[in-house]
Structure formats: C-alpha cells, structure tokens
C-alpha cells in the first residue's frame, strides 16, 4: 500500500471519527421570514410536502445533454420559490446537477477525506434532523445528498477567519456573470490556505464556477425535502434559528446582491441573521466533513492543508533515509506506525 494514501486515509478517519460522537465535534487539520408570513413548505400531517397543484411530478424540466444528472431526476417539488423550475431560472442561475458532487468530493480530497456518494450524504442529513421527514422516501437519499453536497461545496471552502456571508452572495453573482478572475480573487482572500492553487492545479476552476451558479431552490428540494428542523441555540440555550434558516445563506435577493434572503418575498431570512458567523460557516463545513452540524467545522493551520501535511511527512521519511522497513513497511505494522505519528 502506498504510505501516502494511508496517511490520507488516517487523516480522513481521524476527522470523520470526531464527528461520530455527540456534542460539539470538530474536524481539525494542522491549519426568515416573520412568523406571520411563513417560509416553510406546505406539508401534510405526516411531514411530506404536498404535491404540485396539478398533481404532477415533473422529472424532465431540464435536458442535461451530458454526463451530469439533474436533481429533478430524483423528484421535484415546485411551487415553493420563484426559482424552482428550469424555465424560471434567471440572472445566470442554473439547475442543481451532479457536477456539484464532483466539486464536493474534490473539496473532501483537499481536506484529506475519502470521496463519498450522494446516499452517504443523504443518510447523514437524515441522521442529523436536516430534512422534512424522519425517514427517506423514493430517491430522497440521492436528492437530499446532492442538495447538501452542493451547499457544502458552495461554502465549505471558506476559512473560519475569513468567512463573510456577503462574500457568498458576491461570489455566486460573479460566477453567474462568468467573472472567473474575480471569483478566484475572492477564493484567494477568503478560502482555506492553498485552496485557490488546488483548484487551478487540479483543473477544477470550471467545476467550482458551475457549482456556484446552481440555484438552491431549484427543483423544490430546499423546501420539499431538506427543510431542516435542527435547532440552533444562543449561549443561554434559547433557540435562534433552524437549519433551514441557515440554508438560506446561499439564497440571494432577486438582484443577487444580498445573502440569507427569502427570494419568494425578496426579504431577509431573519432568524439566520441572529446566528454567530462562526456557527454558520461551521454548519456548512459539516456538510463536507459529515461531522456534527453544530460542531466546530474545519480548522486549518495557516498555509497548510491535510494533503500537504501528509505529503510533507512522507518527504521527510524518504529524504531522511529511514530504514528499509520504514520505506517498505510490513502491511500489518503500517497502520500502527502511522497512528503513532499522529
């Protein structure tokens, strides 16, 4: 086994293992509307969203014409927003497709984590009260997983210290205007250390741009299946907002200048505005690490990434000679040795 791969695997296992426990967890790497207005989905007594007025479930609103799959292939729940249908997308907004999963798993690779599929993300969302219903129906695991994969890829690249909700609006608007250079400038200023270089070196700039363009309300999944009921409290324990309010970070005003908007009425998603920004970015980072949504997200030391740390360790081992056993370890001893290093 390639020791570098094992280092990456050990890092990923350490990160995801931290999120399996209850309480505040962290992935550490050395580096609304007013109550009277209502913004929730129209749901039945059992928690399922009501079907469209015409009773249809249109899975053909967009012809992909390529290798990526439109989220409406897994179901559609139109009617919750002015941008749920392909024909109503405006201002450079695009449908949610599985291209977002390509960017999502690239971000996981950058963080030293193994790739996952949509069903794995979907199961994580159901386990963490980030959905309408307690159990999935039909293709819910795929659609919910794709939705949260898209959201995580849109925001999870931002560092805690440089996170700014306004930048989420600015970078999506610029992407939808095809202003690649300006988008990458914002990535350099607000992203995890070396993430801009990662996108460029791995030929992921277009994939990143295309993910930023995707409209969170498209297909109605945001209200129809991912209306997360998980409560976020203030320091006194009083509830401030629910996950659905935080999901509105990437929903923009009609002119695409403001984040945290309810675009149906073009006014702010007020509960989310009371959230501490650290908790917001940690929530979106948890979509990438699949850790506790109320945990501490990703912590990167300045100038480093998990992949860089692992590579530097391997270079150190080889450059300093080591023993033949170190260079070609016995597979039975490899895991124990790597664990000791961490």
Q: How many CB atoms lie within 10 A of CB 106?
A: 20
Phi, psi of 89, deg, nearest 5:
-65, 140
What average pLDDT does the structure give for the chain? 77
What DSSP element (H or E) covers 310? Answer: helix 306-319
Phi, psi of 174, deg, nearest 5:
-65, -40
Q: Which whole number is the average pLDDT over 146-156?
A: 98
What DSSP element (H or E) covers 287? Answer: helix 277-289
Task: State yes or no: pLDDT of 93 exceeds 50.
Answer: yes
Quote the DSSP letter at residue 53: T
Return d(Cα 3, Cα 6) in angstroms, integer. 5
Instruction: For the chain, give every domain's residue range.
Output: 10-40+68-300
Q: Which whole number is the average pLDDT over 237-247?
A: 96
If we measure between CA atoms, which residue out of 221, 268, 214 comes closest to residue 241?
268
- Structural contact between residues 175 and 209, judged by C-beta atoms closer than 8 angstroms: yes
Question: Which structure tokens are listed for 184?
Answer: 């990458």
| pTM attached to this predicted model | 0.73
Percent of the chain with pLDDT over 90: 60
Task: State yes or no: pLDDT of 333 exceeds 80.
Answer: no
- Structural contact between residues 280 and 156, judged by C-beta atoms closer than 8 angstroms: no
Return d(Cα 50, Cα 42) in angstroms, integer. 6
Q: Which of 42-46, 207-211, 224-228, 331-335 has the lowest mean pLDDT?
A: 42-46
Three-state secondary structure call for residue 261: strand
Return d(Cα 127, Cα 55) in angstroms, integer. 30
Using CA atoms, how far residue 272 sits from 60, 174, 243, 292, 293, in Å, is: 33, 23, 9, 19, 15
The conformational region for residue 79 under phi > 0 = left, psi -120 to 50 = alpha, else beta, is left
Angle at 152 between CA 168 and CA 274, to 5 degrees: 55
Using CA atoms, how far residue 103 sits from 18, 150, 153, 187, 328, in Å, is: 23, 8, 6, 14, 34
pLDDT single digits (tens) 106-131: 999 999 999 999 999 999 999 999 99
Return d(Cα 322, Cα 325) in angstroms, integer. 8
Q: Give the model's confidence band at 298: pLDDT under 50 very low, under 70 low, under 90 confident, else very high.
A: confident
Quote the DSSP letter at residue 299: E
Return d(Cα 45, Cα 247) in angstroms, integer. 23
């Amino acid at each position: 086994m390639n020791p570098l791969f094992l280092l990456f695997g050990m890092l990923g296992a350490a990160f995801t293992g931290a999120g399996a426990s209850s309480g505040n967890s962290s992935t550490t790497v050395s580096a609304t509307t007013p109550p009277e207005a209502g913004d929730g989905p129209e749901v039945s007594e059992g928690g399922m969203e009501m079907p469209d007025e015409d009773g249809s479930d249109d899975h053909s609103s967009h012809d992909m014409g390529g290798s990526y799959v439109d989220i409406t292939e897994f179901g559609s729940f139109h009617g919750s927003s002015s941008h749920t249908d392909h024909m109503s997308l405006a201002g450079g907004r695009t449908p949610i497709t599985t291209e977002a999963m390509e960017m999502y798993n690239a971000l996981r690779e950058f963080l030293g984590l193994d790739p996952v599929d949509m069903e794995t993300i979907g199961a994580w969302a159901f386990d963490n009260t980030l959905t309408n219903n307690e159990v999935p129906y039909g293709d819910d695991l795929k659609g919910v997983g794709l939705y949260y994969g898209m959201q995580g890829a849109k925001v999870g690249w931002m560092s805690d210290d440089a996170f700014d909700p306004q930048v989420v609006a600015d970078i999506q608007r610029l992407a939808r205007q095809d202003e690649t250079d300006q988008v990458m400038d914002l990535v350099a200023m607000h992203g995890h250390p070396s993430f801009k270089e990662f996108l460029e070196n791995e030929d992921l700039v277009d994939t990143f741009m295309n993910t930023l363009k995707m409209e969170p309300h498209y297909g109605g999944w945001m209200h129809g299946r991912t209306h997360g009921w998980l409560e976020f409290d203030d320091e006194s324990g009083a509830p401030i907002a629910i996950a659905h309010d935080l999901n509105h970070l990437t929903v923009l005003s009609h002119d695409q200048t403001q984040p945290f908007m309810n675009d149906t009425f073009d006014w702010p998603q007020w509960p989310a505005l009371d959230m501490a920004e650290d908790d917001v970015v940690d929530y979106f980072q948890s979509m990438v690490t699949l850790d506790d949504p109320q945990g501490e997200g990703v912590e990167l030391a300045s100038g480093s990434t998990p992949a860089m740390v692992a590579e530097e360790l391997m270079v150190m081992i080889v450059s300093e000679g080591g023993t033949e056993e170190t260079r070609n370890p016995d597979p039975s001893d490899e895991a124990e040795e790597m664990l000791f290093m961490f």
